[in-house]
Amino acid sequence: MARFFGTPDGVQPGQYFADRRELHEAFVHRPLQAGISGTGSDGADSIVVSGGYVDDEDYGSYIIYTGHGGNDPSSKRQVADQTPDARGNAALITSMIRGLPVRVVRGPHKGSLFAPTRGYVYSGLYSVSSWWTQAGRDGFQVVMFRLDAIDQRTHVEPAPLVENDPAFLTTTVSRRIRDTAMAREIKKLYDHSCQICGTQIGTFEGRAYSEGAHVRPLGRPHLGRDDASNLLSLCPNHHSQLDLGGLFISDEMVAFDANTGAAVSELRWRKRHRVDLSNVAYHRSLWRPITRANM
C-alpha cells in the first residue's frame, strides 16, 4: 500500500489498539518496531510516542518529540548523537516543509499524563510546526520536533482520492505566521520591504505585503519574546528559509545561505531598530551544535 497521510477510514481519534500488530493492520502505524513511519523523500505518515527517549515532553495538544537514533533500547538513554538525515528524522522534516499531517499514537509510559496504561491509543492528526537540534539530557546532540494537534473537525482526505481534482485538495499549513501588533509595527517601519533582499511585494490597489519573522521562535520550548529585538520584516521566501533552517544570521548581521555557506546580504536597518545578538545566536544553535564556530 502506498504511504497514506491522514486518518484511515473507520478509525477515530481516541480509538484503542491492543498492540503494534493491530496498529499495523488498521494502517494507523505500519512499522512493528520503529517509532517513526516514513522516509525523507515521502515524509512521515505516523509516529508512536511511548517514552523511549528522555527528552520527550507531552503536553497533549502539542508534543516535543525526540527524533530517532543513538538510543540504547534497554536503558532508554542516549549513547550517541542523532543526525537530521537519519531516515525518521528526515521524514519528519519533509512533513514540516510540505505541510503533511502526521498520525500520532500514544503508547504506555510514565512520562505522559496522556498516555494509556496499556496498549495504544490513536491521538489524531498533528502537524510538525518546527524542528531543531540541541544537547539532550544525556549530553548528546538530539534532533527535536514540535508537533501541534490539528483540529479534529478538519477532514484530511487521502491523497489518492483527491490528487486528480484540485478543487478537493485539503492541505495543512506547515508554518504559523503570527501577525502580532509588534510585528505589524516592524513591517510598517520598513514599508513592508524585506530586510534581507529589499523586496516589497505589491498586492491589490498598491497594498504591500511582508511577514513579521521572529528570530527566536515563540512558544515552548524556545520562549522567544514578541518584541522589536526579536523581529524582522521579511519577504515570504526569506521568512520560510529562516524558519526552516535554510538561512542563518551572523553576529555581524549578515544573512547566510545554510546550504552553500554563501553570504546573501547584510541586513537593512531603519531608525533605531536592531535585533538582539542573543536571539540570532539562539537561532543558529537550533540547527548547529553550540560547540561549533558561529557563522
User: Which CATH number does the domain housing residue 27 bear?
Assistant: 2.30.280.10
Q: 148 in a domain, yes or no? A: yes
The domain boundary, picked from 122, 138, 168, lies at 168
Contacts 24+ apart (CB under 8 A), 57-62: 57/221, 58/106, 58/111, 58/112, 58/113, 58/114, 58/115, 59/220, 60/113, 60/114, 60/149, 61/148, 61/149, 62/126, 62/129, 62/146, 62/147, 62/148, 62/149, 62/220
The confidence score (pLDDT) of residue 198 equals 95
Q: 2 in a domain, yes or no? A: no
The confidence score (pLDDT) of residue 277 equals 96
* Domain hosting residue 97, numbered range: 16-168
Judgement on whether residues 69 and 208 belong to the same structural domain of the protein: no
Q: 207 in a domain, yes or no? A: yes
The domain boundary, picked from 119, 137, 168, lies at 168
Judgement on whether residues 59 and 107 belong to the same structural domain of the protein: yes
Handedness of CA 120, 122, 123, 125 (dihedral sign): positive
Q: 279 in a domain, yes or no? A: yes
User: Considering the entire predicted model, what is its pTM?
Assistant: 0.67
Q: How many CB atoms lie within 10 A of CB 127?
A: 21
Alpha helices in the chain (DSSP H): 20-25, 87-98, 159-162, 181-189, 236-244, 277-287
The confidence score (pLDDT) of residue 96 equals 87
Phi and psi, residue 141, nearest 5°: -70, 130
Judgement on whether residues 63 and 163 belong to the same structural domain of the protein: yes
Task: Say how many domains are in the chain.
Answer: 2
The confidence score (pLDDT) of residue 154 equals 44
Judgement on whether residues 163 and 22 belong to the same structural domain of the protein: yes
Judgement on whether residues 152 and 205 belong to the same structural domain of the protein: no
Judgement on whether residues 229 and 163 belong to the same structural domain of the protein: no
Please say whether the beta carbons of 43 and 117 come within 8 A: no
Cell of 174: 506547515
Rounded distance between C-alpha atoms, residue 263 and residue 259, angstroms: 11
Cell of 145: 520536533
**Among 111, 58, 53, CA closest to 80:** 53
Judgement on whether residues 192 and 281 belong to the same structural domain of the protein: yes
Q: 294 in a domain, yes or no? A: no
Judgement on whether residues 109 and 213 belong to the same structural domain of the protein: no
Q: 100 in a domain, yes or no? A: yes
Q: 265 in a domain, yes or no? A: yes
The confidence score (pLDDT) of residue 179 equals 65
Judgement on whether residues 23 and 160 belong to the same structural domain of the protein: yes
Residue 234 to residues 178, 197, 223, 266, Cα–Cα distance (Å): 13, 8, 21, 13
The confidence score (pLDDT) of residue 158 equals 37
Going residue by residue through the chain (295 aa), what tens digit of pLDDT does each one get?
Answer: 578 888 998 999 999 999 999 999 999 999 998 999 999 988 999 999 988 788 888 988 899 999 988 888 777 788 999 999 899 999 999 888 888 899 999 998 887 888 888 999 999 999 998 899 998 888 899 999 999 998 654 444 333 333 333 333 333 444 455 567 888 899 999 999 999 999 999 886 678 889 999 999 888 888 889 999 999 999 999 999 999 889 999 999 999 999 899 999 999 999 999 999 999 999 999 876 543 444 4
Please say whether the beta carbons of 82 and 89 come within 8 A: yes
User: Any idea how long the chain is?
Assistant: 295
Rounded distance between C-alpha atoms, residue 259 and residue 188, angstroms: 31
Rounded distance between C-alpha atoms, residue 251 and residue 279, angstroms: 10
DSSP 236: H
Q: 3-class SS at 82?
A: coil
The confidence score (pLDDT) of residue 1 equals 58
Rounded distance between C-alpha atoms, residue 265 and residue 197, angstroms: 7
Q: 10 in a domain, yes or no? A: no
Judgement on whether residues 153 and 189 belong to the same structural domain of the protein: no
Judgement on whether residues 220 and 248 belong to the same structural domain of the protein: yes
Judgement on whether residues 85 and 211 belong to the same structural domain of the protein: no
The confidence score (pLDDT) of residue 119 equals 92
**Among 236, 188, 260, CA closest to 248:** 260
Rounded distance between C-alpha atoms, residue 222 and residue 209, angstroms: 27
The domain boundary, picked from 143, 168, 193, lies at 168
Rounded distance between C-alpha atoms, residue 277 and residue 295, angstroms: 13
